[in-house]
A and B are shown apart, each in its own frame.
Chain A
Amino acid sequence: MIVLRRAVILLVTTAVASLVVFALLAVLPGDPAQVALGVNATPELLAKARHEFGTDRPLPVQYADWLGGLLSGDLGRSYVTGEPIAPRLLDRFEVTLWLVGTAMVIAALVAVPLGAFAAVRHRRTSGVLVSAASQLGAAVPGFLAGILLVEVFAVHLRLLPSGGWTPPNADFGAFLRGLVLPALSLGLVQAAVLTRYVRSAVLDVLRADYLRTARAKGLGPVRALVRHGLRNAAVPVVTVLGLQLATLLVGAVIIERVFVVPGLGSLLLDAVGTRDLVVVQDVVMLLVVAVLLVNFLVDVLYAVLDPKLRRA
Chain B
Amino acid sequence: MLAVDRLGVRAGELDLVTEVSFTVSAGERVGLIGESGSGKSLTATALLGLLPEELTASGSVRVAGVEHELVGAPERLLTKLRGSRLAMVFQEPMTALNPAMRVIDQVAEAREVHHPGRDRVLVEADALRLLEQVRLPEVATLARAYPHQLSGGQRQRVLLAMALANDPDVLVCDEPTTALDVTVQAQLLELILAGVAERGAALLFITHDLAVVATVCERVLVMYGGRVVEAGPVREVLTEPRHHYTRGLLDASDLESTDEHGRLHAIPGTVPAAGEFPSGCVFRTRCGRADEQCADLPPWTGVPDHGHACWHPVGGDS
**A contact residues vs B (CB 8 Å cutoff):** 123, 208-210, 212-221, 227-228, 231-232, 305-308
Q: Which residues of B contact A227 (CB under 8 A)?
A: 109
Give the residue name and chain of the A residue nearest to B146 (CB). A307
The digit string for B46-67, where 1 denotes a CB below 8 A from any CB of A, is 0010100110000000000000
In angstroms, Cα B110 to Cα A123, docked, is 30
**Interface stretch of the complex, out of B21-29, B75-83, B238-246:** B75-83
Please name the residue on chain A nearest to B82 by beta carbon. A218
A-B contact pairs, 29 of them (CB 8 A): A123-B53, A208-B95, A209-B90, A209-B96, A210-B97, A212-B50, A213-B96, A213-B98, A214-B98, A215-B82, A216-B48, A216-B83, A216-B87, A216-B90, A217-B83, A217-B110, A217-B113, A217-B162, A218-B80, A218-B81, A218-B114, A219-B83, A219-B113, A228-B98, A228-B101, A232-B98, A305-B100, A306-B99, A307-B100
Chain B residues close to A by CB (< 8 Å): 48, 50, 53-54, 75-76, 79-84, 87-88, 90, 92, 95-101, 109-110, 113-114, 146, 148, 159, 162-163, 165
* Cβ contact within 8 Å between A212 and B79: no
Interface contact B146-A308, CB-CB below 8 Å: yes
Give complex CA distance A228, B147 in Å.
Answer: 14
In the complex, A227→B100 CA distance in Å? 10
**Is the CB–CB distance between B92 and A209 below 8 Å?**
yes
Evaluate contact between B83 and A210: CB separation under 8 angstroms. no
Contact B98 A308 (CB under 8 A): no
Q: Is the interface of A mostly helix, strand, loop or mixed?
A: helix
Cβ distance A8 to chain B, nearest Cβ, rounded Å: 26
Least distance between A301 CB and chain B CB atoms (Å) = 13
Cβ of B79 and Cβ of A220 under 8 Å apart? yes
- Chain B's closest residue to A231 (CB) is B100
In the bound complex, do residue B114 and residue A213 qualify as a contact, i.e. CB atoms below 8 Å apart? no
Q: State whether A218 touches B83 (Cβ < 8 A).
A: yes
Q: What is the bound-complex CA distance between A209 and B88, given in angstroms? A: 12
With a cutoff of 8 Å between Cβ atoms, the chain A residues found around residue B87 in the complex are 216
B96 touches A232 (CB 8 A): no
On chain B, the residues within 8 Å of A217 by CB distance are 82-83, 109-110, 113, 162, 165
Residues of A within 8 A of B165 (CB): 217
Q: Which residues of B contact A214 (CB under 8 A)?
A: 98, 109
Q: Whole-angstrom distance between the alpha carbons of A220 and B78 in the complex?
A: 9
Whether A213 contacts B97 in the complex (CB less than 8 A), given A218-B84, A227-B109, A308-B146, comes out as yes
CA gap between A214 and B87 in the complex, in Å: 11
Q: When the two chains form their complex, are residues A212 and B90 in contact, meaning their CB atoms are under 8 A apart? A: yes
Is B100 a contact partner of A216 (Cβ separation < 8 A)?
no
New A-B contacts (6) at CB < 8 Å, excluding given A220-B76, A307-B148: A216-B82, A217-B110, A219-B113, A231-B101, A232-B100, A307-B99
Residue of A whose beta carbon sits closest to that of B95? A209
Report the minimal beta-carbon distance from A29 to chain B, rounded to whole angstroms.
Answer: 54
Other-chain residue from B50, B54, B80, B101 in contact with A216 (beta carbon distance below 8 A): B50
CB-defined contacts of B159 to chain A, threshold 8 Å = 213
Closest to B102 in A: A307
Do residues A308 and B48 form an inter-chain contact, with CB atoms below 8 A? no
Interface contact A232-B90, CB-CB below 8 Å: no
A210: contacting residue among B84, B99, B114, CB under 8 A: B99
In the bound complex, residues from chain A placing their C-beta under 8 Å from that of B88 are 216
- What is the bound-complex CA distance between A48 and B235, given in angstroms? 105
Task: Please determine whether B50 and A215 come into contact, CB atoms closer than 8 angstroms.
Answer: yes
What distance in Å separates the Cβ of A212 from its nearest Cβ neighbour in chain B?
6
B91 smallest CB distance to A (angstroms): 8
Q: List, in ascending order, chain B residues with CB within 8 A of A308's CB.
A: 99, 146, 148
B180 smallest CB distance to A (angstroms): 16
CB contacts (< 8 Å) of B76 on chain A: these are 220
CA distance A210 to B146 in the complex (A): 13
User: A210 near B96 (CB under 8 angstroms)?
Assistant: yes
Q: Point out the residue from B75, B162, B163 that lies within 8 Å of A221, measured CB to CB.
A: B75
Could you tell me the distance between the alpha carbons of A28 and B316 in the complex, rounded to whole angstroms?
A: 94
